[in-house]
Structures are given as C-alpha cells and as structure tokens.
C-alpha cells in the first residue's frame, strides 16, 4: 500500500495494552484521523497532554471561499472526535468532553479508564467507512435501519429523514440549483482544484479524481481544467443521478454556535458508521448550506426552526467507492 494510504491499515487488535497511557491515546488518535472532512482537507491537529487529547483546527487547511465561517471545519473536528470516543469506548476509555467557545480553542477530551459495555462496536466499521459519490440504487434501506438513523441524537441536535414525494423533489431541486451556483464561482473552483488530485497522487490530503469516477488518464487534467472551466455545464446523466438518492438526511441544531457545529459532526459520524455496519453508503452534500438563502429553503423543506448544519445521501451504492489518502498520526499529532 502507498505511504499516503497507510493510516487505513490500523487494526483494532494492535492496541498497545502494555504501553503507556500516552501510547494508548496516540493509538486512539489513529482512528480519529480516519474521519471525513470537506475536500479531505483533514483540518486537524492533535495534542496529547497527560490524560487529555486536545483537538485543534489547523488554520493551514481552512477553506476561505468554501467555508467562510469555518462551520464545516468544526464539523470535521467533531467527526474526528467521535471516532476517538467510539474507539476509546471499545478499550474501556471514558472521556469527559469540553467544547470550544471561540475560534482557536481546542476540543478537550479528558480520559479515564472505566467499565463500559460497547454493544454497537462501531469501531470495527471506522476503517470501512467511505464517502460514496456514485449513483445510489433506487432501493430503500430496511425500515429498522432508517429508524435507528432517525432516532439518533446529540444534545440539541436532530436528524430529519427525507425519502419521497414533493418534499424529496424540492430537496433534489435545491441541491441541483445550489451545486450549479457554487460550481459556477471561479474562486470556489480554484480553491477546490487545490484539493482535487490525480489518481496517482502521492499527497496525503485531498481527493483523487477516482472518487468522482474519473479515469486515471483524464485525472491528470482535472485539477487544471477545474480552475478555468465550469464543469457543471458538462454534467452527464450519470453525474446528475449522483445528486439523487432513495433517502436524504438533514442534521439540524437548536442553536448555531461552535459546539453545535462540532456536535453535528459527531452525529453524522455515528450515522455514517451505522450505515457502514448495515452495508449502506453515505455522501455529504454541502452546497445548499453555503448561503443563508439555501439553508433557509432547506429549513422550509423539512419544516423546522432548527438550523440545518449538514445534508447527506443515504443508500446502497451502485459502484464500489475507494478510500482517499490520509496523513498519519505522526503527521498531525504531538
């Protein structure tokens, strides 16, 4: 396996039971770095200090065009945090959590050993979770799985399921309109192009073009073409189909503070791992949340006063999805 994919080789059974407390926390971070992030920026830094894991935003991986208020950045930190909590639970680690109150403050996880029953064992699905950008089959997931997803909660956060009728039609229309609007902005495309890589990349971050179904030869041109051409104008029927799904999920929060962005990320990561457990795929879709007009229309569609934070597709993929590259623990933790 290429060195920029080594992080995915972590094994649950390799936990350093005889190692120091610090060694154990570093091992848990190995699961944290496998969380999803916008454009696979991996915008995190981890610090282990005594019994604490501190998760900082990495300002070098901010997206000033695509994520002006850093909402998606903190969403990504929440997903990484959730992976650590889930992995820790498997090894009888309990964490007290402290959420940031202002930009620049870290998430603080304070660890202690407890006696925990981990009935879900989602740790085993962390290495298998993949964002699937391909078309989904027109088959509804099992009702019991949909109920599990719909019942998931974090304090002050909820999930709404959209799966048919006029509500779904309105949502798909919103996704198409906002995606076209975002991709027509040269500044957004230029920023995105910095994270779209060729299929043979040695980079540890960003998205190889194969995640979007682009063949290797064409992938050599994609980063350059993307900067200067509105590729939405050339969308194929297949790519249009990848904007639809049998089920959509919307994560919303009662408030709209940093802690809510982090909690939304936690909630999505639990859903993504649960979906993986049952053979389902997820695909985040951020375009409707880029503007106030977009998120307010989404509010209207799902009929809520909560603030929509995240939108995702849920279903069975028609094509196999592949992992993107990853930094190692040594690259981003100290």
From first to last of its 334 residues, the chain has per-residue pLDDT tens of 689 999 999 999 999 999 999 999 999 999 999 999 999 999 999 999 999 999 999 999 999 999 999 999 999 999 999 999 999 999 999 999 999 999 999 999 999 998 776 767 899 999 999 999 999 999 999 999 999 999 998 889 999 999 989 999 999 999 999 999 999 999 999 999 999 999 999 999 999 999 989 999 999 999 888 888 876 655 555 556 668 899 999 999 999 999 999 999 999 999 999 999 999 999 999 999 999 999 999 999 999 999 999 999 999 999 999 999 999 999 999 9
Is the domain of 28 the same as that of 91? yes
In a domain? residue 25: yes
Question: Checking DSSP bridges between strand 157-162 and strand 207-208, what pairing results, if any?
Answer: unpaired
Q: Angle CA(323)–CA(3)–CA(80) in degrees, nearest 5?
A: 50
Contact status, residue 323 vs residue 8, Cβ threshold 8 Å: yes
Contact status, residue 128 vs residue 321, Cβ threshold 8 Å: no
**Residue 16 has what pLDDT?**
97
Is the domain of 47 the same as that of 122? yes
Is the domain of 87 the same as that of 170? no
| Tokens at 330, concatenated | 């040594």
**Residue 85 has what pLDDT?**
97
d(CA 263, CA 74): 9
**Spatial strand order in the sheet of 93-98:** 44-49, 52-57, 107-113, 93-98
In a domain? residue 206: no
Is the domain of 150 the same as that of 45? no
Neighbours of 322 (CB within 10 A): 12
Is the domain of 32 the same as that of 117? yes
d(CA 32, CA 77): 9
**Residue 232 has what pLDDT?**
62
In a domain? residue 285: yes
**Residue 27 has what pLDDT?**
98
Question: Checking DSSP bridges between strand 196-197 and strand 207-208, what pairing results, if any?
Answer: parallel
Residues 6+ away with beta carbon under 8 Å from 228: 186, 189
Is the domain of 8 the same as that of 115? yes
**Residue 8 has what pLDDT?**
98
Is the domain of 112 the same as that of 46? yes
273: CATH: 3.40.109.10
Is the domain of 124 the same as that of 163? no
Is the domain of 33 the same as that of 95? yes
73: CATH: 3.40.109.30
In a domain? residue 138: no
Q: How many domains is the chain partitioned into structurally?
A: 2
Of the candidates 101, 129, 157, which is a domain's last residue?
129
Is the domain of 304 the same as that of 170? yes
In a domain? residue 162: yes
Is the domain of 147 the same as that of 62? no
Is the domain of 71 the same as that of 159? no
In a domain? residue 311: yes
Boundaries of domain holding 14: 3-129
In a domain? residue 110: yes
In a domain? residue 135: no
């Amino acid at each position: 396996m290429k060195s920029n994919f080594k992080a995915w080789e972590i094994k649950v059974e390799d936990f350093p039971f005889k190692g120091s407390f610090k060694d154990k926390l570093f091992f848990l971070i190995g699961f944290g770095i496998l969380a999803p992030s916008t454009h696979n920026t991996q915008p995190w830094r981890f610090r282990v200090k005594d019994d604490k894991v501190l998760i900082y935003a990495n300002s070098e991986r901010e997206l000033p065009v695509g994520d002006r208020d850093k909402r998606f950045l903190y969403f990504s930190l929440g997903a990484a945090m959730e992976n650590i909590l889930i992995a820790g639970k498997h090894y009888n680690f309990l964490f007290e959590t402290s959420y940031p109150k202002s930009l620049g403050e870290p998430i603080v996880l304070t660890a202690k050993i407890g006696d925990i029953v981990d009935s879900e064992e989602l740790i085993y699905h962390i290495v298998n979770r993949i964002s699937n950008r391909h078309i989904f089959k027109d088959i509804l997931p099992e009702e019991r799985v949909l109920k599990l997803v719909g019942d998931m909660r974090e304090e002050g956060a909820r999930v709404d399921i959209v799966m048919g009728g006029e509500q779904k039609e309105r949502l798909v229309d919103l996704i198409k309109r906002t995606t076209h609007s975002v991709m027509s902005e040269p500044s957004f495309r230029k920023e995105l192009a910095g994270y779209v890589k060729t299929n043979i990349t040695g980079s540890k971050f960003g998205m190889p073009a194969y995640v979007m179904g682009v063949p290797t030869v064409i992938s050599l041109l994609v980063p350059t073409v993307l900067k200067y051409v509105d590729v939405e104008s050339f969308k194929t029927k297949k790519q249009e189909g990848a904007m639809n799904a049998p089920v959509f999920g919307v994560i919303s929060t009662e408030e709209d503070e940093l802690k809510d962005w982090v909690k939304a990320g936690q909630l999505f990561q639990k859903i993504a791992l649960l979906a993986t457990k049952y053979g389902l795929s997820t695909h985040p879709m951020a375009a409707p949340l880029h503007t106030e007009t977009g998120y307010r229309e989404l509010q209207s569609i799902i009929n809520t006063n909560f603030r929509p934070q995240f939108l995702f597709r849920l279903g069975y993929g028609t094509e196999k999805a592949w992992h993107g590259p990853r930094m190692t623990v040594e690259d981003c933790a100290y």
